Amino acid sequence: MSLQFFSSPTPLASDTAHVLGAGLLGLQAPAAAPAWPLQHVRAPLLGSDGLSFHEAWRVDSAPLAGVTEGIHWRRAGDLLFGVIELAEEPGRSDLRTLSEQAYARLFRLLDAQALPHLWRVWNYMADINGSADGLERYRQFNLGRAEAFLQGARSVVGRVPAACALGLAGGPLSIAFLAGPTPAVPIENPRQVSAYHYPADYGPRSPTFSRAALVYPPGQELLFISGTASIVGHQSVHPGDVVAQTRESMDNVAVVLDQANQRSRSGGHALGALSYRVYIRHAADAPRVQAVMAERVGAAPVVCVLADVCRAELLVEVEAQGLRSL
């Protein structure tokens, strides 16, 4: 089973029978609901003339498909991609409950499919830095996620998936995931405290993700670098300076990449050979962020999205991925 990654400002080609799942970035909705699981990140693209950007995972055989407890999924061999969206009740913040429900459903699906290991998760929610009942909404999300991990007999430290969590202007809690039969190889950053070991200053439950993960579809090595920001140790650095924050974020990406390459089975990955999503809090900062990215990754594909990072003082977050044959 061979996995391919498609990334383009143009829509998917007509041959979609082999699409495992996809992401759509931008405000423009698809003309019709696709047959495959689709996570629509409803946020403006920055520094792009296009209204949308398409990313898709393709496989070399027609996947099985289903809907289970609201999760739209496709499975090809031992690869599983799914998307779930849960809307909050109007006038009520129940992000903790929705997060726990979504992940509990996700784990039940993984167990039923005998593919128990999460590899990568993409989380998006409205008003991530807002507060309700005296607690920041991102921290509410972390509470619900961790509770579901524990209830689902999953570890909340060590062998946890790569992930991101970003805030959008509105919309449901949206979670997309890729899972498989074997555990991801978690990668941490020696410049940073592991997120799952953050002190209580950052909330009653630490975030449940690794800094990066190496995973192994048949005959391939897939590197996922989680959402990475201007954090050293566990503290945010360079407040108010988006250029310095972008450089610090990329310094962290480079260190994580070096750590991953020390464990790589494929000969290693290069900064300029990865695909990037960059989340920028203020649209006016996009040209400066893009300039730093060009300095660091050259002509590598970079798509910039207007989104809020999980800490209010952070102005930019970078994530990346790369796929190599073994």
Catalytic positions are 317
Helix (H) or strand (E) holding 247: helix 242-261
> Which residues are CB-contacts of 126 (< 8 A; sequence separation ≥ 6)?
88, 167, 168, 169, 170, 171, 172
Contact 96, 204 (CB under 8 A): no
Contact 213, 186 (CB under 8 A): yes
Neighbours of 125 (CB within 10 A): 27
Q: Rounded to the nearest 5 degrees, what angle is found at the Cα of 221, between the Cα atoms of 219 and 223?
A: 160
Instruction: Report the candidate in 107, 116, 109, 122 with the shortest Cα–Cα distance to residue 68.
Output: 109
Contact 211, 226 (CB under 8 A): yes
- Ramachandran angles phi, psi of 83, nearest 5°: -140, 135
Distance CA 191, CA 84 (A): 33
Helix (H) or strand (E) holding 307: none
What is the separation, in whole angstroms, between the first and last Cα of the chain?
13
Strand, coil or helix: 187 = strand
